[in-house]
Amino acid sequence: MIIAETNFVAVIIGIKEIWQNWKGFLSSLWRDYLNHHFKVGAAEFELSSLIGGLIILILAVLLSRTLSRLFERQITKKAYLEPGLRYTLARLTQYIIIALGALWALKFAFSIDLTSIAVLFTALSVGIGFGLRDIASDLAGGFILLFERPVRVGDRITIGNDEGDVQSINLRTTIIMTNNRISIIVPNSKMVKDRLINWSYGDPRARLSIPLKVDTTCNIELVTSTLLKAAEGVDNVLEDPPPKVQFMDLADWSNDFRLLVWTNRPRRHVQIRSDINYRIEQLFSESGLKTAFPLTQVRIRDGAVQFDTGGKLMARQKANKAEKLESSDEPAGTGEVDSYNDDGDVSAADD
């Protein structure tokens, strides 16, 4: 019992001595290092205040993420707010908290007032204007997208050769998810300056145009009725306004039509076109209609053409003028003989 009490007293004395040593060490650290004044140019600061400012900035970033998520959950319950507006409000809340936290951290770390901070940001803006113009334009584009909202989260857009759904609008870039589940990262300046198609903007209805070239021998009325029939019963194609066929042009080797249909699901325009094209091909086969293809006319001077046993087109030297006139159905003096193959798509002429 006496031995146990003796050991306990020894432990207490040891802890007290350790605490005294650490207390002296911490006091020396605080006095000589953490509370020591440093001077960089005209700015004076202490290491302790600098660490405190860094902690404030980290807490501001963490707090901004937490509060923006809570705020987004709360406004999600408001049925009258669209998803794009909810996302914009949540993002702006996050940016405001980070900006206020950064100002507070600078004030705590360097003991400077807002006027000095304004001068600092002015100097930074000059540097950005000269050296970081692209990044500055991307940042400005991000704020334009969040406030003006020509493109919103969830919209279906086509920019250049890329098409997909807007997944997120960040401060510098916009993330687009394609149908192949590939994320495309687009700078915000490109979203603001370049021409793009927003399939989800404004009126939810959109008109789709499906062009078609038909053989000139086909009956025009039959083509029109067949195209209208091809649009019937296709998913996501509206009956009001009804589909419409337009006869666009009488070309050299085709009659050009286009089928116009309306849909309230414009983001599915690729699948709608595919479904209609499948029906057009089926109905054209059943009706005996033919689509047109280009015809090429070949004219050979100082020679003639013939087909070999394999069906290949070959050229031979021109015979003398007498043989040429005897083999021609045209009267003498025309100086030209035309010959066509079975399909009528190749012509050869001699001078």
Q: Which two tokens stand for residue 324?
A: 């040429």
pLDDT at 258 (0 to 100): 95
Place of tokens 């993330």: 175
Question: What's residue 126's pLDDT?
Answer: 64
Query: For residues 333 and 260, which has the higher predicted lDDT (pLDDT)?
Result: 260
3-state DSSP assignment of residue 137: helix
Q: What is the pLDDT of residue 154?
A: 85
Q: Give the span between the Cα atoms of 215 and 291, in whole angstroms.
A: 5
Long-range CB pairs of 313-322 (<8 Å, 24+ gap) are 313/341, 313/346, 318/350
299 vs 259: CA distance, rounded Å: 37
Q: What is the end-to-end Cα distance of the chain in Å, rounded?
A: 133
Please name the amino acid found at residue 13: I
CA dist., res. 338 & res. 9, Å (int): 125
Q: What is the pLDDT of residue 293?
A: 82
The least confident of 7-11, 164-168, 214-218 is 7-11
d(CA 243, CA 236): 12
Cβ burial, residue 45 (10 Å; 0-12/13-18/19+)? middle
Query: Residue 347: its pLDDT value, please?
Result: 41
Is 160 in a helix, a strand, or coil?
Answer: coil
Q: What is the pLDDT of residue 44?
A: 63
Comparing 185 with 251, the larger pLDDT belongs to 185
Give me the phi and psi of 82, to 5 degrees please. Answer: -75, 155
β-pair type (206-214, 255-263): antiparallel
Among 52, 87, 57, 74, which residue's Cα sits nearest to residue 166? Answer: 87
285: pLDDT confidence band, cut at 50, 70 and 90?
very high
Is the pLDDT score of 116 beyond 90? Answer: no
Q: What pLDDT, in 10s, does the model give residues 39-88?
A: 655 556 666 777 777 888 888 888 888 888 887 777 766 655 666 667 77
Containing 58, the helix (H) or strand (E) segment is helix 47-76
**Band of pLDDT at residue 106, cut at 50, 70 and 90:** confident
Determine the pLDDT at residue 180: 86
Share of the chain above pLDDT 90, in %: 25
Q: Return the pLDDT at 336.
A: 41
Can you give the pLDDT at residue 172? 86
